Chain A
Amino acid sequence: MNLVIVKYNAGNIQSVLYALERIGVEALVTDDHEKIKSADKVIFPGVGEASSAMRYLKERGLDEVLKNLTQPVLGVCLGMQLMCKYSEENSTDCLGIFDEEVKQFKPTDKSIKVPQIGWNNIYNLKTDLFKGLADESYCYFVHGYYAALGEHTIATTDYVQPYSSGLRRDNFYGVQFHPEKSATVGEQILKNFLEL
Protein backbone atom coordinates (compact mmCIF):
# COMPACT_ATOMS: atom_id res chain seq x y z
CA MET A 1 0.00 0.00 0.00
CA ASN A 2 1.06 3.52 -0.84
CA LEU A 3 0.58 5.42 2.43
CA VAL A 4 1.47 9.10 2.72
CA ILE A 5 1.82 11.30 5.80
CA VAL A 6 1.36 14.97 4.95
CA LYS A 7 4.49 16.93 5.82
CA TYR A 8 3.87 20.42 7.18
CA ASN A 9 4.84 22.60 10.13
CA ALA A 10 3.11 20.50 12.79
CA GLY A 11 4.60 18.27 15.48
CA ASN A 12 4.13 14.53 15.99
CA ILE A 13 4.81 13.42 12.37
CA GLN A 14 7.66 11.29 13.69
CA SER A 15 5.41 9.69 16.32
CA VAL A 16 2.86 8.72 13.68
CA LEU A 17 5.60 7.25 11.52
CA TYR A 18 6.95 5.16 14.41
CA ALA A 19 3.45 3.97 15.34
CA LEU A 20 2.92 2.77 11.77
CA GLU A 21 6.28 1.02 11.88
CA ARG A 22 5.18 -0.75 15.07
CA ILE A 23 2.23 -2.26 13.19
CA GLY A 24 4.49 -3.13 10.29
CA VAL A 25 3.53 -0.41 7.81
CA GLU A 26 5.83 1.94 5.96
CA ALA A 27 4.76 5.44 5.07
CA LEU A 28 6.18 8.27 3.01
CA VAL A 29 6.35 11.71 4.66
CA THR A 30 5.95 14.28 1.90
CA ASP A 31 4.44 17.63 0.90
CA ASP A 32 4.65 16.82 -2.80
CA HIS A 33 1.22 17.43 -4.35
CA GLU A 34 1.36 14.59 -6.86
CA LYS A 35 2.58 12.05 -4.32
CA ILE A 36 -0.22 13.02 -1.94
CA LYS A 37 -2.85 12.87 -4.68
CA SER A 38 -1.72 9.47 -5.91
CA ALA A 39 -1.47 7.82 -2.47
CA ASP A 40 -3.84 5.00 -1.52
CA LYS A 41 -4.33 6.49 1.94
CA VAL A 42 -3.34 9.81 3.49
CA ILE A 43 -2.69 10.65 7.14
CA PHE A 44 -2.84 14.33 8.10
CA PRO A 45 -1.24 14.54 11.56
CA GLY A 46 -0.62 17.56 13.74
CA VAL A 47 0.30 19.10 17.02
CA GLY A 48 0.50 22.86 16.99
CA GLU A 49 -1.43 26.06 16.44
CA ALA A 50 -4.23 26.41 13.88
CA SER A 51 -3.56 29.77 12.19
CA SER A 52 0.14 29.22 11.52
CA ALA A 53 -0.60 25.70 10.26
CA MET A 54 -3.33 26.95 7.89
CA ARG A 55 -1.08 29.73 6.63
CA TYR A 56 1.65 27.18 5.94
CA LEU A 57 -0.75 24.88 4.07
CA LYS A 58 -2.13 27.73 1.95
CA GLU A 59 1.30 29.09 1.04
CA ARG A 60 2.15 25.69 -0.41
CA GLY A 61 -1.21 25.03 -2.04
CA LEU A 62 -1.70 22.02 0.24
CA ASP A 63 -5.13 23.27 1.37
CA GLU A 64 -6.60 22.72 -2.12
CA VAL A 65 -4.84 19.37 -2.50
CA LEU A 66 -6.23 18.10 0.83
CA LYS A 67 -9.80 19.29 0.21
CA ASN A 68 -9.98 17.52 -3.13
CA LEU A 69 -8.61 14.12 -2.12
CA THR A 70 -10.86 11.16 -2.89
CA GLN A 71 -8.99 8.34 -1.14
CA PRO A 72 -9.41 7.68 2.63
CA VAL A 73 -7.86 10.52 4.65
CA LEU A 74 -7.29 10.46 8.42
CA GLY A 75 -6.75 13.73 10.27
CA VAL A 76 -5.23 13.46 13.74
CA CYS A 77 -5.62 16.06 16.54
CA LEU A 78 -4.81 19.45 14.95
CA GLY A 79 -5.14 17.72 11.57
CA MET A 80 -8.77 16.90 12.37
CA GLN A 81 -9.42 20.44 13.63
CA LEU A 82 -7.97 21.93 10.44
CA MET A 83 -10.43 19.78 8.45
CA CYS A 84 -13.30 21.62 10.17
CA LYS A 85 -14.87 24.84 8.93
CA TYR A 86 -13.51 27.31 11.45
CA SER A 87 -11.39 27.34 14.59
CA GLU A 88 -11.62 29.80 17.46
CA GLU A 89 -7.86 29.37 17.84
CA ASN A 90 -6.73 32.77 16.52
CA SER A 91 -10.01 33.01 14.53
CA THR A 92 -8.86 30.72 11.75
CA ASP A 93 -10.79 29.73 8.63
CA CYS A 94 -9.92 26.08 8.08
CA LEU A 95 -10.42 23.57 5.26
CA GLY A 96 -14.21 23.24 5.61
CA ILE A 97 -14.38 19.50 4.99
CA PHE A 98 -16.46 19.09 8.16
CA ASP A 99 -19.13 21.71 8.97
CA GLU A 100 -18.40 21.42 12.67
CA GLU A 101 -16.67 24.37 14.34
CA VAL A 102 -13.68 24.18 16.66
CA LYS A 103 -14.10 25.99 19.98
CA GLN A 104 -11.99 26.57 23.05
CA PHE A 105 -12.71 24.63 26.24
CA LYS A 106 -14.11 27.12 28.74
CA PRO A 107 -14.76 25.26 31.99
CA THR A 108 -16.75 27.09 34.65
CA ASP A 109 -15.37 24.65 37.23
CA LYS A 110 -11.80 25.73 38.03
CA SER A 111 -10.75 22.17 38.86
CA ILE A 112 -11.09 21.24 35.16
CA LYS A 113 -7.79 22.02 33.48
CA VAL A 114 -7.14 23.21 29.94
CA PRO A 115 -5.63 21.72 27.85
CA GLN A 116 -7.08 18.31 28.51
CA ILE A 117 -4.09 15.98 28.93
CA GLY A 118 -4.51 12.25 29.40
CA TRP A 119 -6.73 9.26 28.75
CA ASN A 120 -10.45 9.69 28.18
CA ASN A 121 -13.06 7.41 26.65
CA ILE A 122 -14.73 7.53 23.26
CA TYR A 123 -18.36 6.39 22.88
CA ASN A 124 -21.22 6.27 20.36
CA LEU A 125 -18.69 4.82 17.95
CA LYS A 126 -19.71 4.70 14.32
CA THR A 127 -18.07 3.49 11.09
CA ASP A 128 -15.46 0.78 10.50
CA LEU A 129 -12.71 3.09 11.77
CA PHE A 130 -13.65 1.83 15.24
CA LYS A 131 -14.30 -1.78 14.21
CA GLY A 132 -13.60 -4.25 16.99
CA LEU A 133 -13.36 -1.61 19.72
CA ALA A 134 -15.47 -1.62 22.84
CA ASP A 135 -17.67 1.43 23.39
CA GLU A 136 -15.96 3.66 25.98
CA SER A 137 -12.46 2.57 24.91
CA TYR A 138 -9.71 4.81 26.26
CA CYS A 139 -7.59 7.04 24.04
CA TYR A 140 -4.86 9.58 24.74
CA PHE A 141 -5.79 13.25 24.29
CA VAL A 142 -3.81 16.51 24.43
CA HIS A 143 -5.85 19.54 23.32
CA GLY A 144 -7.28 22.86 24.40
CA TYR A 145 -9.81 23.23 21.56
CA TYR A 146 -12.57 20.82 20.54
CA ALA A 147 -14.91 20.20 17.61
CA ALA A 148 -18.56 20.55 18.54
CA LEU A 149 -21.02 17.68 18.05
CA GLY A 150 -22.65 17.65 14.62
CA GLU A 151 -23.94 15.53 11.77
CA HIS A 152 -20.43 14.21 11.01
CA THR A 153 -19.70 13.03 14.57
CA ILE A 154 -18.64 9.36 14.66
CA ALA A 155 -17.21 9.31 18.21
CA THR A 156 -18.07 11.35 21.30
CA THR A 157 -15.99 12.23 24.36
CA ASP A 158 -16.94 14.18 27.49
CA TYR A 159 -14.70 16.98 28.75
CA VAL A 160 -16.35 20.15 30.00
CA GLN A 161 -19.18 19.02 27.66
CA PRO A 162 -19.71 16.24 25.10
CA TYR A 163 -17.77 16.93 21.88
CA SER A 164 -16.67 15.20 18.67
CA SER A 165 -13.66 12.96 19.23
CA GLY A 166 -14.20 11.51 15.77
CA LEU A 167 -15.64 12.99 12.55
CA ARG A 168 -16.37 11.59 9.12
CA ARG A 169 -17.62 12.93 5.81
CA ASP A 170 -17.37 10.64 2.78
CA ASN A 171 -13.69 9.61 2.47
CA PHE A 172 -12.53 12.03 5.17
CA TYR A 173 -12.03 10.85 8.75
CA GLY A 174 -10.67 12.74 11.72
CA VAL A 175 -9.87 11.87 15.34
CA GLN A 176 -9.10 14.34 18.11
CA PHE A 177 -7.04 11.90 20.18
CA HIS A 178 -3.64 10.47 19.27
CA PRO A 179 -4.03 6.90 17.96
CA GLU A 180 -0.24 6.77 17.65
CA LYS A 181 -0.01 7.06 21.46
CA SER A 182 -3.19 5.24 22.47
CA ALA A 183 -1.73 1.79 23.17
CA THR A 184 -3.50 -1.18 21.57
CA VAL A 185 -6.73 0.78 21.02
CA GLY A 186 -4.85 3.29 18.89
CA GLU A 187 -3.08 0.53 16.97
CA GLN A 188 -6.44 -1.05 16.17
CA ILE A 189 -7.75 2.28 14.85
CA LEU A 190 -4.69 2.74 12.63
CA LYS A 191 -5.08 -0.82 11.31
CA ASN A 192 -8.79 -0.20 10.69
CA PHE A 193 -7.99 2.95 8.75
CA LEU A 194 -5.52 1.06 6.58
CA GLU A 195 -8.26 -1.48 5.79
CA LEU A 196 -10.92 1.08 4.83
Chain B
Amino acid sequence: MLTKRIIPCLDIKDGRTVKGTNFVDLRDAGDPVELGAFYAQQGADELVFLDITATVEKRKTLSELVNKISHHINIPFTVGGGISSVEDVSVLLQNGADKISVNTAAFKRPELIRELEKDFGSQCVVLAIDTKKEADGEWYVYLNGGRTKTDMKCTDWAKQAVDLGAGEILLTSMNHDGTKQGFALDITYTLSTTLPVPVIASGGGGTMQHFVDVFNNGKADAALAASIFHFKEISIPDLKKYLARNNINVRI
Protein backbone atom coordinates (compact mmCIF):
# COMPACT_ATOMS: atom_id res chain seq x y z
CA MET B 1 0.00 0.00 0.00
CA LEU B 2 1.09 3.54 -0.68
CA THR B 3 2.32 5.07 2.57
CA LYS B 4 1.76 8.47 4.17
CA ARG B 5 4.92 10.56 3.92
CA ILE B 6 6.83 12.43 6.63
CA ILE B 7 8.82 15.37 5.27
CA PRO B 8 11.31 17.47 7.27
CA CYS B 9 11.80 20.98 5.90
CA LEU B 10 15.19 22.71 6.01
CA ASP B 11 15.42 26.48 5.64
CA ILE B 12 18.56 27.52 3.78
CA LYS B 13 20.31 30.86 3.69
CA ASP B 14 23.59 31.37 1.83
CA GLY B 15 24.04 27.61 1.63
CA ARG B 16 23.53 27.01 5.37
CA THR B 17 20.54 25.83 7.39
CA VAL B 18 18.96 28.56 9.47
CA LYS B 19 16.78 28.30 12.58
CA GLY B 20 19.33 26.70 14.89
CA THR B 21 19.15 23.06 15.61
CA ASN B 22 20.37 21.16 18.63
CA PHE B 23 21.69 18.10 16.93
CA VAL B 24 24.71 17.65 19.12
CA ASP B 25 25.46 14.35 17.42
CA LEU B 26 26.04 16.03 14.09
CA ARG B 27 29.41 17.49 13.25
CA ASP B 28 27.78 20.48 11.61
CA ALA B 29 24.01 20.87 11.89
CA GLY B 30 24.30 24.02 9.84
CA ASP B 31 25.34 21.95 6.86
CA PRO B 32 22.17 21.15 4.89
CA VAL B 33 23.79 18.11 3.30
CA GLU B 34 24.72 16.53 6.61
CA LEU B 35 21.39 17.33 8.24
CA GLY B 36 19.48 16.06 5.21
CA ALA B 37 21.47 12.83 5.13
CA PHE B 38 20.77 12.37 8.84
CA TYR B 39 17.01 12.70 8.26
CA ALA B 40 17.17 10.32 5.30
CA GLN B 41 18.94 7.76 7.44
CA GLN B 42 16.32 8.27 10.19
CA GLY B 43 13.54 7.34 7.78
CA ALA B 44 12.32 10.66 6.36
CA ASP B 45 10.39 9.93 3.17
CA GLU B 46 11.37 13.11 1.36
CA LEU B 47 13.08 16.39 2.16
CA VAL B 48 12.19 19.97 1.35
CA PHE B 49 14.93 22.60 1.09
CA LEU B 50 13.53 26.10 1.22
CA ASP B 51 16.03 28.75 0.18
CA ILE B 52 15.48 32.14 1.76
CA THR B 53 18.66 33.77 0.44
CA ALA B 54 17.93 37.21 -0.94
CA THR B 55 21.28 38.03 -2.56
CA VAL B 56 22.10 38.26 -6.25
CA GLU B 57 24.40 35.22 -6.00
CA LYS B 58 21.44 33.16 -4.89
CA ARG B 59 21.04 31.17 -8.07
CA LYS B 60 24.64 30.00 -8.14
CA THR B 61 24.94 29.09 -4.44
CA LEU B 62 21.63 27.24 -4.57
CA SER B 63 22.52 25.17 -7.63
CA GLU B 64 25.87 24.26 -6.07
CA LEU B 65 24.12 23.22 -2.90
CA VAL B 66 21.54 21.14 -4.78
CA ASN B 67 24.35 19.39 -6.61
CA LYS B 68 26.01 18.52 -3.29
CA ILE B 69 22.72 17.31 -1.81
CA SER B 70 22.02 15.02 -4.75
CA HIS B 71 25.44 13.44 -4.43
CA HIS B 72 24.78 12.48 -0.82
CA ILE B 73 21.07 11.91 -0.29
CA ASN B 74 19.27 8.77 -1.44
CA ILE B 75 15.65 9.91 -1.09
CA PRO B 76 13.66 12.41 -3.17
CA PHE B 77 13.94 16.09 -2.40
CA THR B 78 12.17 19.30 -3.34
CA VAL B 79 13.79 22.72 -3.65
CA GLY B 80 11.84 25.95 -3.24
CA GLY B 81 12.26 29.62 -2.53
CA GLY B 82 12.11 32.43 -5.04
CA ILE B 83 11.91 30.21 -8.12
CA SER B 84 10.39 32.22 -10.93
CA SER B 85 11.41 30.88 -14.34
CA VAL B 86 11.80 27.76 -16.45
CA GLU B 87 15.52 28.44 -16.49
CA ASP B 88 15.72 28.50 -12.66
CA VAL B 89 14.01 25.13 -12.58
CA SER B 90 16.08 23.64 -15.37
CA VAL B 91 19.31 24.40 -13.50
CA LEU B 92 18.01 22.90 -10.25
CA LEU B 93 16.74 19.72 -11.93
CA GLN B 94 19.99 19.30 -13.85
CA ASN B 95 21.78 19.46 -10.54
CA GLY B 96 19.67 16.61 -9.23
CA ALA B 97 16.57 18.09 -7.56
CA ASP B 98 13.55 15.81 -7.97
CA LYS B 99 10.88 18.48 -7.61
CA ILE B 100 10.74 22.22 -7.28
CA SER B 101 8.16 24.27 -5.45
CA VAL B 102 6.79 27.56 -6.70
CA ASN B 103 4.73 30.05 -4.76
CA THR B 104 4.57 33.84 -5.30
CA ALA B 105 5.95 33.81 -8.86
CA ALA B 106 3.35 31.26 -9.93
CA PHE B 107 0.56 33.31 -8.39
CA LYS B 108 1.71 36.44 -10.18
CA ARG B 109 2.09 34.58 -13.47
CA PRO B 110 0.09 31.32 -13.40
CA GLU B 111 1.30 30.45 -16.90
CA LEU B 112 4.63 29.56 -15.24
CA ILE B 113 3.00 26.37 -13.90
CA ARG B 114 1.94 25.32 -17.40
CA GLU B 115 5.42 26.05 -18.78
CA LEU B 116 7.04 23.96 -16.04
CA GLU B 117 4.57 21.12 -16.53
CA LYS B 118 5.21 21.11 -20.26
CA ASP B 119 9.01 21.11 -19.98
CA PHE B 120 9.52 18.89 -16.94
CA GLY B 121 6.25 17.07 -16.17
CA SER B 122 3.73 17.70 -13.42
CA GLN B 123 5.44 15.18 -11.12
CA CYS B 124 8.15 17.73 -10.37
CA VAL B 125 5.96 20.82 -9.98
CA VAL B 126 4.86 21.44 -6.39
CA LEU B 127 2.67 24.47 -5.76
CA ALA B 128 3.30 25.93 -2.31
CA ILE B 129 0.40 27.93 -0.88
CA ASP B 130 0.60 30.04 2.28
CA THR B 131 -2.95 30.50 3.46
CA LYS B 132 -4.74 32.21 6.34
CA LYS B 133 -8.28 31.92 7.61
CA GLU B 134 -9.81 35.37 7.93
CA ALA B 135 -12.65 36.64 10.12
CA ASP B 136 -15.14 35.84 7.34
CA GLY B 137 -14.28 32.16 7.76
CA GLU B 138 -12.61 31.90 4.34
CA TRP B 139 -9.03 30.80 3.63
CA TYR B 140 -7.10 33.36 1.55
CA VAL B 141 -3.81 33.10 -0.33
CA TYR B 142 -0.84 35.09 1.01
CA LEU B 143 2.33 35.86 -0.93
CA ASN B 144 5.94 36.84 -0.24
CA GLY B 145 6.37 34.50 2.70
CA GLY B 146 3.04 35.50 4.21
CA ARG B 147 3.60 39.25 4.12
CA THR B 148 1.15 40.11 1.34
CA LYS B 149 -2.55 39.31 1.45
CA THR B 150 -4.49 38.58 -1.72
CA ASP B 151 -8.23 38.38 -2.39
CA MET B 152 -7.87 34.89 -3.88
CA LYS B 153 -9.45 32.02 -1.98
CA CYS B 154 -7.08 29.13 -1.30
CA THR B 155 -9.42 26.53 -2.81
CA ASP B 156 -9.81 28.53 -6.04
CA TRP B 157 -6.08 29.01 -6.50
CA ALA B 158 -5.29 25.38 -5.71
CA LYS B 159 -7.83 24.18 -8.28
CA GLN B 160 -6.57 26.58 -10.93
CA ALA B 161 -2.96 25.54 -10.31
CA VAL B 162 -3.78 21.84 -10.59
CA ASP B 163 -5.63 22.52 -13.85
CA LEU B 164 -2.49 24.29 -15.10
CA GLY B 165 -0.33 21.29 -14.24
CA ALA B 166 0.77 21.42 -10.59
CA GLY B 167 1.44 17.84 -9.45
CA GLU B 168 1.29 18.37 -5.70
CA ILE B 169 0.13 21.04 -3.26
CA LEU B 170 2.24 22.06 -0.26
CA LEU B 171 -0.29 23.75 1.98
CA THR B 172 0.90 25.91 4.90
CA SER B 173 -1.64 27.34 7.32
CA MET B 174 -0.36 30.65 8.65
CA ASN B 175 -2.88 30.41 11.49
CA HIS B 176 -1.23 27.20 12.67
CA ASP B 177 2.42 27.58 11.64
CA GLY B 178 4.67 27.82 14.68
CA THR B 179 1.85 27.21 17.18
CA LYS B 180 2.44 23.48 17.70
CA GLN B 181 -1.31 23.24 18.27
CA GLY B 182 -1.99 20.88 15.38
CA PHE B 183 -2.41 21.15 11.62
CA ALA B 184 -5.26 22.98 9.87
CA LEU B 185 -7.54 19.99 9.43
CA ASP B 186 -10.45 21.68 7.67
CA ILE B 187 -8.63 23.29 4.72
CA THR B 188 -6.35 20.26 4.40
CA TYR B 189 -9.42 18.01 4.22
CA THR B 190 -11.10 20.27 1.67
CA LEU B 191 -8.12 20.28 -0.69
CA SER B 192 -7.25 16.60 -0.18
CA THR B 193 -10.74 15.40 -0.96
CA THR B 194 -11.46 17.70 -3.89
CA LEU B 195 -8.12 17.77 -5.76
CA PRO B 196 -6.82 14.86 -7.82
CA VAL B 197 -3.22 15.45 -6.64
CA PRO B 198 -1.47 14.78 -3.31
CA VAL B 199 -1.62 17.41 -0.56
CA ILE B 200 1.28 17.98 1.84
CA ALA B 201 0.05 19.56 5.09
CA SER B 202 2.35 22.04 6.80
CA GLY B 203 2.15 24.22 9.87
CA GLY B 204 1.19 23.37 13.43
CA GLY B 205 2.50 19.86 13.98
CA GLY B 206 3.54 19.75 17.65
CA THR B 207 2.72 16.25 18.88
CA MET B 208 2.68 12.81 17.30
CA GLN B 209 -1.10 12.78 17.68
CA HIS B 210 -1.30 15.87 15.46
CA PHE B 211 0.19 13.80 12.63
CA VAL B 212 -2.36 11.04 13.23
CA ASP B 213 -5.09 13.69 13.05
CA VAL B 214 -3.84 15.29 9.83
CA PHE B 215 -3.72 11.89 8.11
CA ASN B 216 -6.98 10.49 9.52
CA ASN B 217 -9.13 13.63 9.66
CA GLY B 218 -7.33 15.98 7.28
CA LYS B 219 -6.82 13.19 4.71
CA ALA B 220 -3.36 14.60 3.95
CA ASP B 221 -1.04 12.51 1.78
CA ALA B 222 2.06 13.84 3.51
CA ALA B 223 2.93 16.03 6.50
CA LEU B 224 5.77 18.50 6.69
CA ALA B 225 7.42 19.99 9.77
CA ALA B 226 10.63 21.77 10.64
CA SER B 227 11.50 22.81 14.17
CA ILE B 228 9.97 19.81 15.99
CA PHE B 229 12.40 17.64 14.06
CA HIS B 230 15.33 20.06 14.23
CA PHE B 231 14.96 20.43 18.00
CA LYS B 232 14.38 16.69 18.45
CA GLU B 233 11.03 17.25 20.12
CA ILE B 234 9.85 14.40 17.95
CA SER B 235 12.16 11.87 16.34
CA ILE B 236 11.17 10.46 12.97
CA PRO B 237 11.55 6.79 14.02
CA ASP B 238 9.33 7.39 17.09
CA LEU B 239 6.78 9.27 15.00
CA LYS B 240 6.58 6.50 12.43
CA LYS B 241 6.16 3.84 15.10
CA TYR B 242 3.39 5.90 16.67
CA LEU B 243 1.64 6.31 13.32
CA ALA B 244 1.93 2.58 12.61
CA ARG B 245 0.40 1.79 16.02
CA ASN B 246 -2.48 4.05 15.03
CA ASN B 247 -3.04 2.03 11.85
CA ILE B 248 -1.54 4.62 9.53
CA ASN B 249 0.48 3.05 6.77
CA VAL B 250 4.06 4.34 6.91
CA ARG B 251 7.43 3.17 5.64
CA ILE B 252 9.44 1.78 8.56
Contacts and interface: CB of A to CB of B under 8 A. Distances in A.
A178 B5 CA distance: 16
B45 A119 contact: yes
B121 A15 contact: no
Interface string B93-115: 11110100000000000000000
Interface in B230-252: 251
Contact of A115 (B93, B96, B123, B251): B123
Contact of A21 (B3, B5, B71): B71
B74 A118 contact: no
A184 B168 contact: no
B3 A186 contact: no
A8 interface: no
Contact of A14 (B40, B96, B122, B196): B96
B115 to A, nearest CB: 16
Interface in A11-62: 11, 14-15, 18-19, 21-22, 47-49
B120 interface: yes
Interface residues of B, number: 32
B70 A15 contact: yes
A21 B68 CA distance: 12
Contact of B74 (A19, A110, A158): A19
Contact of B40 (A21, A114, A183): A183
A187 interface: yes
B75 A181 contact: yes
A142 B197 CA distance: 12
Contact of A119 (B5, B70, B122, B193): B5
A14 B193 contact: no
A184 B1 CA distance: 19
Q: Which of A18, A114, A117, A138 has the most CB of B within 10 A?
A: A117
B167 A115 contact: yes
B2 A120 contact: yes
A113 B70 contact: no
B51 interface: no
Contacts of A21: 71
Nearest to A14: B96
B5 A113 contact: no
A114 to B, nearest CB: 7
Nearest to B192: A111
A18 B70 contact: yes
Interface string A113-157: 111111111000000000000000010111000000000000000
A117 B76 CA distance: 11
B178 interface: no
Given A115-B123, A117-B167, A138-B251, A18 B71 contact: yes
B222 interface: yes
B58 to A, nearest CB: 21
Nearest to A139: B251
Nearest to B250: A119
B76 A181 contact: yes
B121 A159 contact: no
Interface string A155-196: 000110000000000000000001011111011000000000
Contacts of B123: 47, 115, 117, 142
A47 to B, nearest CB: 6
B198 interface: yes
Contact of A120 (B3, B40, B122, B221): B3
26 contacts: A11-B93, A11-B120, A14-B94, A15-B98, A18-B70, A18-B71, A22-B74, A47-B123, A48-B121, A49-B121, A111-B193, A113-B198, A115-B123, A116-B2, A117-B167, A117-B168, A117-B221, A118-B3, A118-B45, A119-B2, A140-B76, A141-B2, A181-B74, A184-B74, A186-B74, A187-B74
Given A111-B193, A120-B3, A181-B98, 6 more contacts: A14-B95, A18-B96, A118-B198, A138-B251, A141-B2, A181-B75
